[in-house]
Structure 1
Amino acid sequence: MKTLEIGTQYFRFENDFVNNLRCIPMIVRYKLDSCRIKLQLADWAKLNFEEKAQLAELPCQFPHDIEAYGHYVNALVWKYTGQYPSVLKQVADSWNETHEIPAEVKEKASEFACPQLTMEQWKNLETLQRFALVKLGRSGHEGKNFPVAFSEFGLM
């Protein structure tokens, strides 16, 4: 399994919004999950560009980073809304499982007629790539970027 130092990284499939950060990029979504914060898109939209970029750039890998990141997100949301964001009781982090390909990834691959992933391919993806496929594969997500990400990650 490849390890990933969590730093600023945007995927090509996010190109349509990274210039203005109107949507929450995967790197920020990963970091939010790491500190168990559910940030609403409406709250994200209230942040200025510099704050959004900083959320992508701040470290969030080690326990002290995760704690500091969570405090910073809470302070930003409070600043604009007078409320703290929701806390996730738990995070279903199936992207960290390298012994089994998550069902949502298999189902979304089938839905978009993408080739079935092998365990070797799944294990060789970087953590953030596996995270993106899981998030794009979840129900409730429109998923249009799933086949684009699949291709970007060299799986087609």
Structure 2
Amino acid sequence: MALNDAPLLFHYEVKSSEDLTFIPMCVRFNLDRFGLRISLAQWQLLPYEDRRLLARFPVDEDTEIEPNFDHALFEMLRTHANVEPEWFAPEEAPAWRDANTVPGGIANQAALANLREPAVDDWARLAPFQRYVLAKLARKPEANHDFVPAMQEFGLAAPRQAAP
């Protein structure tokens, strides 16, 4: 599969990630997919064009995708930072892959934002990468400032109904 023409950024990410100072979700997805971890400081040591290239890799889970993301990242970090990414074992069955069950963290983030938790049908209609993004944003118990904008962008930001 070919690289995207431009970095894949959601609208809510443009303000914080357009200059690629922060690690965009498309890069986080591929880091998680390959079981690689880098710090924000390591990311920021890479030249802008290298960060832009990494943000152009596809966000498909297809195992046929050429595994050049990890090779490119290794070479870039060795060249510009004299470090290597940290390895970890990727989850075999992350919760976001299951289109039939909304992960619990999503309900927690929705409650913190006074939003309705997505129904299973709404969750199932999301693209896998969108499910990944929401699950990633909802992994910590405290409110995530990008959760509401992501829910809005994905058409899921309905206010919670008050109890009768």
Q: Name the residue aligned to 1:26.
A: 25
**Residue of structure 1 in register with 2:79 after alignment:** 79
Per the alignment, residue 52 of structure 1 pairs with 51
Matched residues in 1 for 2:44 and 2:141: separation?
A: 20
The match for 1:90 is 90
Partner of 1:105: 106
Say what the alpha-carbon RMSD is for the aligned residues.
2.2
- Quick one: which amino acid aligns to residue 44 of structure 1? W
Which protein, 1 or 2, shows the higher relative CO under an 8 Å CA cutoff with sep ≥ 6? 1
Compared CA separation, residues 57 and 141, structure 1 to 2 (3 A) = farther
Shift of 1:36: 1.1
> In terms of mean alpha carbon deviation, does 136-145 or 124-133 score higher?
136-145
1:77–1:84 CA contact under 8 A, matched in 2: yes
Provide the residue aligned with 2:162 in structure 1. Answer: none
Q: How many equivalent pairs are there?
A: 152
Unaligned runs of 5+ in 1: none
- Report the residue type matching 1:74 in the other structure: F
TM-score, normalized by length of structure 2? Answer: 0.83
- Consecutive aligned runs of 4 or more in structure 1 exceeding 3 Å deviation: 5-8, 59-66
Say which one has the larger Rg: 2
Contact 1:46 1:80 in 2 (8 A): yes
Cα distance in 1 for residues equivalent to 2:116 and 2:3:
28
Matched with 1:17 is 16
The range that moved more, 78-87 or 44-53, is 78-87
Offset of 1:139 from its aligned partner?
Answer: 1.0
Q: Which amino acid aligns with 1:35?
A: F
Q: Which runs of 5+ in 2 are unaligned?
A: 158-164
* Percent identity (aligned): 25
Contact 2:96/2:103 (<8 A) preserved: yes
Structure in which a larger fraction of residues adopt helix: 1
Mapped to 2, the partners of 1:112 and 1:46 lie a distance apart of 34
